[in-house]
Amino acid sequence: MSVLLEVIATTVADARLAAQAGADRLELITAMGEGGLTPSLGLIEAVVETVSIPVNVIVRPHSRSFVYDADDHAVMLRDVRAVKAAGANGVVIGMLNARGEIDREQLARAIDAADGLAITFHRAFDEVRDQRRALDVLLGFDAVTNVLTSGGKPSVLDAEATIRDLVREASGSHCTVLAGAGLTVDAVAGFVNRTQVQAVHFGSGVRVGGNGLAQIDIDKVARVRAQLNAQ
């Protein structure tokens, strides 16, 4: 089984190009420069209509912090329901408490609102105090099918040992470690070999000039796909 390739899309054109070049799944966001925020309903609907691969949509109301107040959380629940209604495959979400732990209560309510959609816990995971303990918490939620992480480092390429440990811990569970941030076309094959990850996540690494605000480079996506198929 080849490694799953998830690509960030910020426009309908991104989505179309990534799907054509062999991406298995999209993460749809806006505001790449802020680490990804909830995209518009119109964009979600248009992308879901345009591509045949699964579309996971980030629900993140602002980039101030991953600790949300009651108003933020109410907005997130509305957005989760809207993502479900728009026909998306899943929701990408994450929330922490002031102690740097996963906010279980808010996560449980978001899962309830998602009503059966797949849940990816996003890189809020990289700001928890203890990743092993946080993974144990996520493994307690059947709806959480992915955890997106760079192993707590700015680039996942500097966290191979951590990723390897997390992959081992999640092995055989319902939750896949989705490795992302800093992956490049040239580094991905070796990274996958050494960490044994089953899913990788690309943003800037498959864009023109490696620029997060540029469009998808179809050749780069195709080259990543070919390397993953050869694993």
Which amino acid appears at position 12 of this protein?
V
For residue 124 the two structure tokens come to 């809020």
Q: Is the pTM of this model over 0.85?
A: yes
Q: Domain with 90 in it: what CATH number?
A: 3.20.20.380
Q: What angle do CA 192, 58, 181 make, to 5 degrees?
A: 30
Task: State percent of the chain over pLDDT 70.
Answer: 100
Contact 110, 93 (CB under 8 A): yes
Q: Which residues pair with 102 in a beta bridge?
A: 96
Domain around 128: 4-229
pLDDT band of residue 2 (cuts 50, 70, 90) is confident
122-165 tens-digit pLDDT: 999 999 999 999 999 999 999 999 999 999 999 999 999 999 99
Span 94-108, average pLDDT: 97
- Into how many domains does the chain fold? 1
CA end-to-end span of the chain, whole Å?
9
40-76 tens-digit pLDDT: 999 999 999 999 999 999 999 999 999 999 999 999 9
Closest residue by Cα to residue 106 from 165, 48, 59: 59
> Cα–Cα distance between 86 and 63 in angstroms, integer?
24
Span 207-230, average pLDDT: 95
- pLDDT at residue 86, as a whole number: 97
163-192 tens-digit pLDDT: 999 999 999 999 999 999 999 999 999 999
With 70 as the cut, is the pLDDT of residue 1 above it? Answer: no
Helix 41-50 × helix 12-21 angle, to 10°:
30
Half-sphere exposure of 177 (CA within 13 A, CB side): 28
pLDDT band of residue 231 (cuts 50, 70, 90) is confident
